[in-house]
Amino acid sequence: MKLEQLSSFEAVARMGHFTRAAEELFLAQPSLSRQIAALEADLGTKLFRRGPAGVTLTDAGGVLLPIARRMLADARFAREQMDELAGLRRGHVRLGAPPTLCVSLVSDVLAAFRAAHPGVDLHITEAGSRSLVDALNENALDLALMVTRGTEPSVPGTELIPLLSEELVVISAAGSPLPGHARQQGGESSTPTEITLAELAHIPQVAFNRSYDLRLATDAAFSASGLTPTIAVEGAEMDAVLRFAERGLGVAVVPAMVVIDRPGLHSTRLVNPQLTRTVNLARRTDVEPSAAAAAMQRFVFDTVDRLTAPGTDLARLVTAVPRNR
Is residue 307 predicted with pLDDT exceeding 90?
no
What are the tens digits of pLDDT across the range 33-85?
Answer: 999 999 999 999 999 999 888 899 999 999 999 999 999 999 988 887 776 66
Mean pLDDT of the 288-315 span: 88
The per-residue pLDDT for 321 is 84
Architecture of domain 167-276: 3-Layer(aba) Sandwich (3.40)
Reported pTM: 0.68
pLDDT above 90 as % of the chain = 59
Tell me, which fold does domain 92-164+277-320 have in CATH?
A: D-Maltodextrin-Binding Protein; domain 2 (3.40.190)
Q: Under a CB-based contact definition with an 8 Å cutoff, are residues 147 and 213 in contact?
A: yes
User: Comparing C-alpha atoms, which of 306, 296, 258, 256 is closest to residue 277?
Assistant: 256
Q: What is the mean pLDDT of the chain?
A: 88
Which has the higher per-residue pLDDT, 128 or 313?
A: 128
What are the tens digits of pLDDT across the range 23-34?
Answer: 999 889 999 999
Binned at pLDDT 50, 70 and 90, residue 195 comes out as very high
**For 76-80, 202-206, 274-278, which range has the lowest pLDDT when averaged over its residues?**
76-80
Asked if residue 273 has a cis previous peptide bond (ω within 30° of 0), the answer is yes
Alpha helices in the chain (DSSP H): 3-15, 18-25, 29-43, 59-87, 99-102, 105-116, 129-137, 197-200, 213-224, 238-246, 291-307
Is residue 159 predicted with pLDDT exceeding 70?
yes
What are the tens digits of pLDDT across the range 170-193?
Answer: 999 987 767 655 454 444 445 568
Q: Under a CB-based contact definition with an 8 Å cutoff, are residues 165 and 321 in contact?
A: yes
Domain residue spans in the chain? 3-87, 92-164+277-320, 167-276
Is residue 314 predicted with pLDDT exceeding 80?
no
Q: Which residues, including other chains, have CB under 8 Å from residue 246's CB and lie 6 or more apart? A: 173, 174, 262, 264, 265
What are the tens digits of pLDDT across the range 62-71?
Answer: 999 999 999 9
Tell me, which fold does domain 3-87 have in CATH?
A: Arc Repressor Mutant, subunit A (1.10.10)
Task: Tell me whether domains 3-87 and 167-276 share a fold.
Answer: no
